[in-house]
Amino acid sequence: MNYRTTHTFAAKTICFVSLMVFFVSFMAHGQKEPQYTQYMYNIGSFNPAYVGTVETPEIIGLYRAQWLDIPGAPRTMRFGVNVPFSNEKNGLGFNVVSDQLGPFTQTYVDVAYSYQVNVSDDTKLSFGLDVGGSFLNVDFNKGDFEIENEPLLNEQTVNKFYPTIGAGAFLYSDNWYAGLSIPNFLTNGIYGDEVAVLVEDKVQFNFIGGYVFDLSKTLKLKPAFMVNYLQGAPVNINISSNFLINDKVTLGASYRVDNAVSALAGFQVSSSMFVGYSYDYNTNGLGEYNNGSHEVILKFYLGKGNNRSREPKTNNAKGKPKQIDSPRFF
């Protein structure tokens, strides 16, 4: 696969190398789901079982600018809503995610539903399902590209829609959680030829988990992980650790194996608003060509009594709601 630009020789060289890295990675490794550094605050975007576990309705906005200073680098935007029902068993969620990479743009839209049951006095298991679709747009007018042995991509633009159905499970208690999700079961055999060339038709699995340690009355530590598995692609392993200070400030670090190290910070502006930021520095060869990645997340908590230092509600032996002092990192 070769790409040419029509700028000056220097610009041609830079764009050629950059875009080649992006598209080879995109096509060969099949990363069809957006990548997040602040996944611990953004679980509802990839696991529908999470949407009903929150204490009050949430509105989430996220923007990720990846690999700065490289033309055509990924840009991701997400708008999400998580709404628990008053019966503390059901929940609804809504997501719109736009993922851009060079001439490729995928916009995911889905509606999620979750239902949870009591496993024990202080542990719940939530099941979730999301239904939606992806709008795929490829616009080769954004550059001058030459693609060999791909006659289906000779057109200047490709606009297609394909359905998505995902599912997940989320097990949580006072101070820990674990989850498994599959963003889309509808892969192999549903794409037309022109889409199958562009979209990896494999099922992706997401594994997440975390635990809260109370170090003192004003300091808590939350290690967490996220693993993405896609057949035929390298396993993507994310490990993070965050401190919560005075239930207001979060500081931490993250490591994406063989890929990047990250610094994270967050601030509870009020009981109804949280803002988080992360910066990634590539530890692989791509780090020589970019100035890192930035990600910003903004969360609004609606309703009375909302406090980010609370976990999702669990029930005690008498069936009454129980408030927990563990930090809300998920």
Q: Is the separation of the CB atoms in 326 and 313 below 8 Å?
A: no
Per-residue pLDDT, 191 = 53
User: 3-class DSSP state for residue 244?
Assistant: strand
Phi and psi at residue 322, in whole multiples of 5°?
A: -125, 125
Instruction: Give the torsion sign (CA, 148, 151, 155, 160).
Output: negative
Domain that holds residue 65: 29-301
Per-residue pLDDT, 12 = 38
Tokens standing for residue 285 = 């060869």
Count Cβ atoms below 10 Å from residue 123 Cβ, excluding itself.
14
Per-residue pLDDT, 275 = 97
Helices (runs of H) and strands (runs of E) counted in the chain: 2, 17
Q: 81 in a domain, yes or no?
A: yes
Residue 145 Cα distances to 39, 299, 312, angstroms:
34, 39, 50
Q: 317 in a domain, yes or no?
A: no
Per-residue pLDDT, 308 = 42
Q: 324 in a domain, yes or no?
A: no
Q: How far apart are CA 106 and CA 100, in angstroms?
A: 6
How many domains does the chain fold into? 1
Q: How distant is the alpha carbon of residue 129 from its chain centre?
A: 17
Q: 327 in a domain, yes or no?
A: no
Q: Is the separation of the CB atoms in 125 and 117 below 8 Å?
A: yes
Q: Tokens 């109370």 map to which residue?
A: 214
Per-residue pLDDT, 153 = 55
Phi and psi at residue 22, in whole multiples of 5°?
A: -60, -55
Q: 209 in a domain, yes or no?
A: yes
What is the domain-level CATH number for residue 115?
A: 2.40.160.40
Q: How far apart are CA 159 and CA 321, in angstroms?
A: 49
Per-residue pLDDT, 26 = 41
Task: Residue 145: name the closest of 46, 72, 69, 66 by CA.
Answer: 72
Looking at 156-296, list the stretches that DSSP marks H as alpha helix, in order from N- to C-terminal side.
193-196
Q: What is the pLDDT of residues 184-231, one digit of tens each?
A: 888 765 455 555 555 656 789 999 999 999 999 999 999 999 999 987
Q: Tokens 């995610």 map to which residue?
A: 97
pLDDT in tens for each of the 330 residues of the chain? 443 443 433 333 344 444 444 444 443 334 457 889 999 999 999 999 999 999 899 999 999 999 888 888 899 999 999 999 988 899 999 999 999 888 888 899 999 999 999 999 889 999 999 999 989 888 877 665 555 555 545 556 778 888 899 999 999 998 999 999 999 888 765 455 555 555 656 789 999 999 999 999 999 999 999 999 987 788 999 999 999 999 899 999 999 999 999 999 999 998 899 999 999 999 988 878 888 999 999 999 997 444 444 444 444 444 444 444 444 556
Tokens standing for residue 211 = 């635990």
pTM value?
A: 0.81
Terminal-to-terminal C-alpha distance of the chain: 41
